[in-house]
Structure 1
Amino acid sequence: MGENNSTKYVIELKNIEKEYFGNKVLKGVNLSVRPGEIHGLVGENGAGKSTLMNIIFGMPVIFSTGGYSGEILFEGNTVKIKSPKDAMELGIGMVHQEFMLLPGFTITENIKLNREILKDSIASRFLGPQLKTLDIEAMRRDARKALNELGMTVDEWLPIAGLPVGYKQFVEIAREIDKRNVKLLIFDEPTAVLTESEAEKLLGAMKMLAAKGIGILFITHRLYEVLAVADNITVLRDGEKVGSMKREEASIEKIAQMMVGRKIERVEKRQNKAEKSEEIIMSIRNLYVDMPGEMVKGVNLDIIKGEILGIGGLAGQGKIGIANGIMGLYRAKGEVYKNNKKIELNNTRKAIENGLAFVSEDRRGVGLMLDNSIELNIAIGAMQVKGMFLKTFFGVNWPRLVDERKIRENALKYIKELDIRCTGPTQITRRLSGGNQQKVCIAKALTLEPDILFVSEPTRGIDIGAKKLVLDLLVKLNVERGMTIVMTSSELGELRSICDRIAIVYNGKIEGILSPYDSDTNFGLMMAGEYKSHSKEAVR
């Protein structure tokens, strides 16, 4: 390989920075990929991997939010990639985690989409080139050639709809390698939806493409895959490049520690609390939840009375599904016991009647009625399920007779207690900041007077100051009310700052439970699904 500027690197990223609405998500990232190199890019959710890929591929979300700063060199020349079309013309292709295929079209039509081959017809000879027809045979030949390169024997004229997931992923790759000028291929979590054998086949295809001189940027959270194929590995954390190493210098422990390592500031909350209880308030056995993108596949978990239990894990592994299933928002099966009493699943009312409450991750979709007042939002759940805030005559609740005075008193109490910044209880909820909307969601849950509070992604989409207030509030509820709290979060640092124990979910099951003081390496291994196999290797 020559060492002149045009061939030394296929792409160089220099000091790339990106802000979303004042929040810096990339901070001076440098990254280079040579022709024929497989470069692994790893990091937790929110580390900045997807934003970096969106910049390289010129995705509209980057330029509709103010663009980026820094420099991109492609084959030694400075470029501004302002659209996917620009990226493709340079020779950049992307294989997405979510398939970008048209299900009603055949494999060949998807591979040749926007690059169809045309041939003359009798009409076009006389009436002009706009009447040319598709050269089906030439298109099929191209599609067959791309599929053969990937070792796929499937008929190139089959429709995409109904194909197994693994085949769809290979059709995406075939579409990219059919482009004659492809020089850099980005693989964004390509094995996330594949079986083990399909993933092995894909890694083999990646090596084959690299051998042809194509540079590959491989994003994954499966650390053993990176070690299997990558020549060089870059680790991102909190928008910064925290490490870069050759494959021979790397190990799963080293990468895992880099991925999650950060100073953990614990919120001290046990000083005045009696010795911790070991009483189990809830037992979850063999829980399955059918939640798209967050399926739970046989969770077993015990929750201790009076604790803050964290549930963590990478995106799409199932952590979000646990609370949603227990609270009846998605179809669930299995057994859930509270104080040894079985709780009926798939019934939100029964869950609430049994002393459970839920602050959803979908604040705007599930949690709040944005065009109604703060006071009504706080009261509505308790009114509907427990008959609270309704006027009573001779011991009977009259549904149409709302006790507005009690609703107002309740709202004022929580506005003061939770420090909800607003003009008053009648203010429309939409006009509150994200952090104050989240506090309204918590007030709504507390009004149900629960024994166990499930809180999902409580700090998502709110600024750093509001995040601290929400976390401090959860600690206060736990210490002063003795409330058992189950907090699901993608922010591992937040879980480690306030939780007593943290359950890590991988592939729909509990991979293990760690102390917040456990090593960064153990958290990284567990989140990557590598903890158990690694422990076995250590024993050997």
Structure 2
Amino acid sequence: MAHAANFLEMRSVSKEFFGNHVLTNVNFAMQRGEILGLVGENGAGKTTLMKILFGMPVIQQTGGFSGEILLEGKPVNFASPLDALDAGIGMVHQEFSLIPGFTATENIVLNTESLTYNIIVELFGDRLKNLDTSKNTQRAQAAIRKLGVQLDPQMLVSEMPVGHKQFTEIARELDRQNIKLIVLDEPTAVLTESEADILLHSIRALAAEGIAFILISHRLQEIMDVTHRVLVLRDGSMVQDVRTADTSITQIAEWMVGRELHQTINVQGTDFTDRACGEPLLQVENLWVDMPGETVRNVSFVAHKGEILGIGGLAGQGKLGIPNGIMGLHVAGGNVRFKGKSVPLNDPRAPLDLGFAFVSEDRRGVGLLLEEPLDWNIVFTAMQTQNKYLKRYLGGWLTWRDEAALERVAQEYIQALEIKCTSPKQLAQELSGGNQQKICLAKAFALEPELLFVSEPTRGIDIGAKKIVLDTLRKYNQERCVTIVMISSELEEMRSVCDRIAIVDEGRIVGILPASAPSTEFGKMMVGRGGV
């Protein structure tokens, strides 16, 4: 395509976060009415690229970006999302930004409401204009009609099912008069199959009217069904820009998960048959978990004593729901047995008492006491559930923290995990993300568990910290015979430490293979094209 025909271009776009390269020399262009599919593994840089395009504050707050954006042939650099909206670019994020106490109509027209004059306005000025309720309702209904969905304009967001909230978000963008491009970040992740079909049909119809779309999705069949071209990001670089008609789901999956030879992590001793793992330790049957965005529908698997079992899959398919459900953090049902005994569900204390530990994917929200010192973070759960690191007085009537034991165990883990800090008394919130993750691991190890769930252990941390975290997991597994169930979006990292890897798709395990199996086989399972 000639540059003059391009509606949008991003040229040589690069971005660093605190010295970590997340985007490197990314280039692409698109025309009006074109639907681009933007795909890649978690952490590939998809959302960051769109945040740059949309002028999100986090980009400016972290040093900006290098490269150039051209809209209709003219250079632009949006200082804020408001600038992007004024230029006709809208974005629907994965996280909803609706006001729960407002109706669909009120959310759709928010900040652009139609107003009406009255006599008081003539006396006291425009501030006393009234909302034109009829006009606003008409606008909302028109935007909803464009989507072809049944949605009550007067329903409160707080009362909506999650799919209707997603449609309300998209209708808000369609209500904008000058909308030219809409970025949709995983728009069907929370939709039912029928709702997703309605949305994809609407995207095609709106594109035919000249609105361009960038669709970020892990559902590759949808990418094949609705897009004109597919862009594949891997490790922050654009590795493919291809017409959808010229590729396939299998090919896209290989581009997403493939690694150049020099990038591949050395996989050692990862074949399940190579190690003498013991008898079944954890048996999960027909597990379902109601975790928003990570629903588990029917999962069954067995983890053996001394094994490192990986659980992978694309975002939103349910892998994160598995440990959260078993550990009692989200409503769950089914049958879970540990060493032959039933594990009570929906009771966060029960698995801890049985010898479980959990490193959550949400280290800031669930994993850490951010305003407390490191030593307190490390020992808190063990102290609360196992009465460790306490001194007892008066025959046990009085207990107090054993400060010497606290410092001793904190120093042990700070040294073992190479945690960069000023002292065990430094506050957790002052550490980098990688060091916070190491504190979460230390907290779990302090419980001396028999079974450790560790969810997204390397998310958001640099390469050096990743190696330490993975080496530590392998060390504790081998030296202390801790059985580990590792849930991760990073396939190559799981292949480097796990014995077997299960892949979750649409809330179910579609296959389990030795970690030494080719990465493309796992890629096929992720998109429903393989498995055992």
Distance 2:377 2:136 in 1: 58
Q: 1:482 to 1:71 in 2, by over 3 A?
A: same
Alignment check: 8 A CA contact 1:326 1:332 kept: yes
Q: 1:167 to 1:293 in 2, by over 3 A?
A: closer
Distance 1:513 1:182 in 2: 45
- The structure 2 residue matched to 1:26, chosen from 2, 20, 23, is 23
Which amino acid in structure 2 is aligned with residue 332 of structure 1? A
Partner of 1:538: none
**Identity fraction in percent:** 53
Alignment check: 8 A CA contact 2:361 2:455 kept: yes
Partner of 1:72: 69
Establish whether residue 511 from structure 1 lines up as the match of residue 510 from structure 2.
Answer: yes
Establish whether residue 233 from structure 1 lines up as the match of residue 230 from structure 2.
Answer: yes
Partner of 2:40: 43
Which amino acid in structure 2 is aligned with residue 252 of structure 1? I
Q: Which runs of 5+ in 1 are unaligned?
A: 536-540
Alignment check: 8 A CA contact 1:500 1:516 kept: yes
Alignment check: 8 A CA contact 1:33 1:216 kept: no
Partner of 2:119: 122
How much has 1:126 moved relative to structure 2? 5.0
How much has 1:258 moved relative to structure 2? 0.6
Distance 1:11 1:277 in 2: 54
How much has 1:260 moved relative to structure 2? 0.9
Instruction: Write out aligned runs for 1:124-523 (5 A).
Output: 124-125=121-122, 127-152=124-149, 154=151, 156-262=153-259, 263-269=263-269, 275-277=275-277, 279-370=279-370, 372=372, 374-391=374-391, 397-420=396-419, 434-523=433-522
Which amino acid in structure 1 is aligned with residue 13 of structure 2? I
Which amino acid in structure 2 is aligned with residue 181 of structure 1? N
How much has 1:87 moved relative to structure 2? 1.1
Distance 1:5 1:105 in 2: 43
Partner of 1:59: 56
Comparing 413-422 with 225-234, which one deviates more in the overlay?
413-422
Which amino acid in structure 2 is aligned with residue 324 of structure 1? N
| Pairs aligned (count) | 528
Alignment check: 8 A CA contact 1:95 1:187 kept: yes
Distance 1:382 1:473 in 2: 19
Q: 1:119 to 1:351 in 2, by over 3 A?
A: closer
Comparing 20-29 with 434-443, which one deviates more in the overlay?
434-443
Normalising by structure 1, report the TM-score. Answer: 0.88
Alignment check: 8 A CA contact 2:270 2:497 kept: no
How much has 1:71 moved relative to structure 2? 0.7
Comparing 327-336 with 301-310, which one deviates more in the overlay?
327-336
Distance 1:393 1:104 in 2: 53
Which amino acid in structure 1 is aligned with residue 318 of structure 2? G
Distance 1:85 1:409 in 2: 52
How much has 1:285 moved relative to structure 2? 1.5
How much has 1:300 moved relative to structure 2? 0.9
Q: 1:202 to 1:434 in 2, by over 3 A?
A: closer
Alignment check: 8 A CA contact 1:235 1:244 kept: yes
Q: 1:470 to 1:221 in 2, by over 3 A?
A: same
Where 1:244 maps in the other structure, the secondary structure is strand
How much has 1:203 moved relative to structure 2? 1.0
Which amino acid in structure 1 is aligned with residue 19 of structure 2? G
Where 2:502 maps in the other structure, the secondary structure is strand
Distance 2:295 2:458 in 1: 22
Distance 1:429 1:106 in 2: 40
Comparing 488-497 with 444-453, which one deviates more in the overlay?
444-453
How much has 1:220 moved relative to structure 2? 1.1
Q: 1:96 to 1:450 in 2, by over 3 A?
A: closer
Which amino acid in structure 2 is aligned with residue 186 of structure 1? V
Q: 1:216 to 1:398 in 2, by over 3 A?
A: same
Comparing 238-247 with 168-177, which one deviates more in the overlay?
168-177
Distance 2:439 2:141 in 1: 57
Alignment check: 8 A CA contact 1:270 1:479 kept: no
Alignment check: 8 A CA contact 1:390 1:398 kept: no
Comparing 421-430 with 159-168, which one deviates more in the overlay?
421-430
Alignment check: 8 A CA contact 1:390 1:397 kept: no
Normalising by structure 2, report the TM-score. Answer: 0.89
Q: 1:200 to 1:481 in 2, by over 3 A?
A: same
Comparing 424-433 with 44-53, which one deviates more in the overlay?
424-433
